[in-house]
Amino acid sequence: MTLDPAMKAFVDILAAAGKPPNFAEIGVAAAREVSAQAGAMLGTGPAMAREEDLTVAGAGTSLPARLYVPEGEVTALLVYLHGGGWVVGTLDGYNAVLRRFAKGSGCAILSIDYRMAPEHPFPTPVEDCYAATVWADQHRAELGLGAGLPLVVGGDSAGGNLTAAVALLARDRGGPRLAAQLLIYPATDCDFERASYVRFTEKLPLTSSAMFWFWDQYVADPAERAHPLASPIRAESLEGLPPALLVVAGYDPLRDEADAYGERLRQSGVPVRAMTWEGLTHGFFQFAEILEPGGLACDEIAAELRAMLKG
């Protein structure tokens, strides 16, 4: 594999600036501040027909959320779960890419500010995201979107992990019915011995050492990490899950587990559309408005989801 030249230049700039920092050294509060500052530098994205901050139901609490409604016909309601290792990430940091994705896919997007670790470790973020998805299913008409609009859940990285967990819960708890799941370079397993974990240890937007720290915050007890809602690939069965659009980055510690999850879904009879960008790193989706290959990839993913929803 060869790193895309624009991606390499971007990675080199980050490295020269000492980013990303060692989260284990700076701690949770500083990591969140760094993440928030980085999110503010990711552009603005296209204007929406409607954008609204609101409150949705979490697991026994209320959660901030943001609704993006694009111009033209709305194809689905996408409940979006942001990345950030279950520890960092904000609604604001996803403004640019979600506006762009809403425009390209035709989806109205409800971005969820779920509670994060270490203050709220596993399984609280999972339960928050499931409750928010149930809320979205029950309130589509109140959001001005039409009660019969297809419902999709999606997310990137840790948000992809939460997406897979929500899909499992929706199946096992009898709903809501999901038209699709969007898995963008998802974390699906707690196995740190996979080849991509061994290979990508430094000089990338996400390294294996950063993932070790994120897992420590999210599920402190290693024995508990094998729970299927923490490591969805370890679920006894993946049968009956909604069709998946799986997005994979070539330069990513999570590469191998994402590929393996896609294969398990296929073997379980779940339709999977896999899209792989060999020359891009983890994080390219969020960089869509400031990195040309990330933007092109975002647009292709949006077009693929639109086509997938149309059948």
Give tens-digit pLDDT for 232-273: 999 999 999 999 999 999 999 999 999 999 999 999 999 999
Contact present, 254 and 185 (Cβ < 8 Å): yes
pLDDT at 201: 85
**18 — pLDDT class (breaks 50, 70, 90):** confident
**Number of H-type helices and E-type strands within the chain:** 9, 8
pLDDT above 90 (res 15):
no
**What are the phi and psi torsion angles at 179 (to 5°)?**
-75, -25
pLDDT at 254: 98
**131 — pLDDT class (breaks 50, 70, 90):** very high
Give tens-digit pLDDT for 189-200: 999 999 999 999
pLDDT at 309: 95
* Residue in 110, 101, 109 with CA at minimum distance from that of residue 294: 101
As a whole number of angstroms, the distance between CA 99 and CA 119 comes to 29
DSSP state of 178: -
**173 — pLDDT class (breaks 50, 70, 90):** very high
pLDDT at 203: 80
Helix (H) or strand (E) holding 276: strand 272-281
**Amino acid at the residue 94:** Y
**16 — pLDDT class (breaks 50, 70, 90):** confident
**202 — pLDDT class (breaks 50, 70, 90):** confident
> Domain boundaries in the chain?
5-310
As a whole number of angstroms, the distance between CA 274 and CA 32 comes to 31
pLDDT cut 90: percent of the chain above it: 94
Residue 245, SS3 per DSSP: strand
Chosen CATH of 5-310 out of 3.30.160.20, 3.40.50.1820, 3.40.640.10, 1.25.40.10: 3.40.50.1820
pLDDT at 281: 97
Tokens encoding 171: 């199946």
Catalytic residues, by residue number, are: 157, 252, 282
Residue 238, SS3 per DSSP: coil
pLDDT at 130: 98
Tokens encoding 125: 């973020």
Give tens-digit pLDDT for 273-288: 999 999 999 999 999 9
Contact present, 187 and 254 (Cβ < 8 Å): yes
Contact present, 251 and 1 (Cβ < 8 Å): yes
* Residue in 101, 8, 84 with CA at minimum distance from that of residue 295: 101
pLDDT above 90 (res 182):
yes
**147 — pLDDT class (breaks 50, 70, 90):** confident
Mean pLDDT of 4-27: 91
Give tens-digit pLDDT for 30-66: 999 999 999 999 999 999 999 999 999 999 999 999 9
Site of tokens 């111009």:
71
Sign of the C-alpha dihedral computed for residues 79, 80, 86 and 88 taken in this order = negative
Q: What is the 3-state secondary structure (H, E, C) of 25-77?
A: HHHHHHHHHHHHHHHCCCCCCCCCCEEEEEEEECCCCEEEEEEEECCCCCCEE
